[in-house]
Amino acid sequence: MSSRELIDERFADLVSELRSARLAPPPELRERVRAIAAAPAAEPRPSLLERVRLRRAALVLVPVSLAAVVSAAMVQGLVSSGERKTVDVAVEQTAPPAAEDAKPVLKAGARDREQGASLPPGRRLVDYRVQMRLRVANLDELSRATVRTMRTVRRLGGYVGSVRYSSPSVRGGDAVIVVRVPVARMQNAILAFSELGTIVSQSISLTDVQKAYDRQVEQAGRLRTLIARTERRLRDEELPASERAALELQLVRQRADLVALVRRHEATGERGRMATARLSLTTFRPPPRATAATEPSRLGRALDDSGRVLAKELLWALYGLIVAGPLLVLGLLALGAGRARRRRSERQL
């Protein structure tokens, strides 16, 4: 008999003996099992998350978080209000006073003398344009100022382009006078106009037209040369009829171009020699300015800045909730599923 058959026979005998034998537990073990079964089930030990109640934590964390947010906003508001005040002071110190330009506080003709001294008449042709607005006392002064303006312009060698006088009521009226004065005498005209009343506004512009004038002179010379050449060709008696007709048409066009160019040339010279002044006279006074709003105090600025900071923080919190909300929901679901699985396994045990 081989060793393998011997092992199988012994294993079979062992199995038959185990099956035929009836193993009985000792009485002590039986009593212990009965005691465990009769005893009440022990409560599972609560975890750390279960021991920390969410409600109690919320009652503590929510006020603390709100206090921290409000404190940060107040600090930011105080800091920003102080910085803004510093900037405003710096601007007020460095900005030039603009009120004097808006209000007619200068005496009549004082500012014009200063500006007229810096604008000497040159030998070049310039397009000299002046706009002035003055305020007079009443309708009588308005009429006298209008007459004086026209007389002054004629005395200086100019002429009146247009006059518009209107008196909608007995309380006041307006007059708009457009005049042309030689450029060399425009400064004298400005000084005379400034004495008519109180200057409300004034503007002076100078544009060089000498280049355009010279260019038109050159173009006129070239056109005259072409016209003379065309006329010489037309004197040829042997010129064919078709070519003569074409040259005659060309000559007509060249002469028309020369006439138009001469007119533009004269207009340019007129603009360069005669300055244009638009004088507006009025008796109406501007409405009183609205009282400037009082600057808020530092506390008011701090509260405003704090409100803006809180709004930004709430906006960022909303953005964070939108982004992290799904992740928080998934985490809570996973936590609940784990706790349910653990309780189910404890019940099975």
Q: Are residues 61 and 131 in the same domain?
A: no
pLDDT of residue 116: 37
Domain identity same for 88 and 106: no
Q: How much is the pLDDT for 34?
A: 77
Domain co-membership, 193 together with 267:
no
**Mean pLDDT computed over 328-342:** 79
CB 213 within 8 A of CB 126: no
Q: Stretch 28-56: mean pLDDT, rounded?
A: 63
Cα 302 to Cα 81: distance, rounded to the nearest angstrom:
6
Domain that holds residue 328: 45-95+302-349
Name the residue with tokens 């009593």: 31
Instruction: Out of 40-44, 115-119, 281-285, 288-292, pick the least confident.
Output: 115-119
User: What is the C-alpha to C-alpha distance for residues 159 and 154, in angstroms, rounded to an integer?
Assistant: 6
Query: What pLDDT does residue 46 have?
Result: 53
Residues 85, 134 within the same domain: no
| Residue 76, pLDDT score | 58
Residue 125: inside a domain, yes or no?
A: yes
Q: Is residue 220 part of a domain?
A: yes
Cβ-based neighbours of 110, under 8 Å, separated by 6 or more: 194
Predicted TM-score (pTM) of the model is: 0.46
265-291 pLDDT tens trace? 999 999 999 999 999 999 988 766 655
SS3 26: coil
Same domain, 164 and 220: no
Q: Are residues 190 and 142 in the same domain?
A: yes
Report yes or no on 5 lying in a domain. no
Examine residue 64 and state whether it is found in any structural domain, yes or no: yes
Q: Which helix (H) or strand (E) holds 53?
A: none
Half-sphere exposure at residue 256, Cβ-oriented, CA atoms within 13 angstroms: 6
116 and 183 in a single domain? The answer is yes
Q: For the domain that residue 202 is a member of, what is the CATH number?
A: 3.30.70
Q: Which of 29-38, 91-100, 161-170 has the highest mean pLDDT?
A: 161-170
* Sole residue written with tokens 């035929």: 20
Does residue 11 fall inside a structural domain?
Answer: no
**Residue 260 scores a pLDDT above 80:** yes
- Structure-token match 């699985």, residue found: 341
Q: Are residues 145 and 110 in the same domain?
A: yes
* Same-domain status, 117 and 171: yes
Residues 193 and 122 in one domain: yes
Same domain, 259 and 179: no
Tell me how many domains the chain contains.
Answer: 3
Query: Is residue 10 in a domain?
Result: no
Specify the range with the lowest mean pLDDT, choosing from 24-33, 88-97, 239-248.
88-97
Task: Write out pLDDT tens, residues 54-82.
Answer: 556 556 566 666 666 566 656 555 555 54
Q: What does R_g of the chain's alpha carbons equal in angstroms?
A: 52
SS3 324: helix
Across 8-22, 50-64, 181-195, 330-344, least confident range = 50-64
Kindly state whether residues 167 and 245 are assigned to the same domain: no
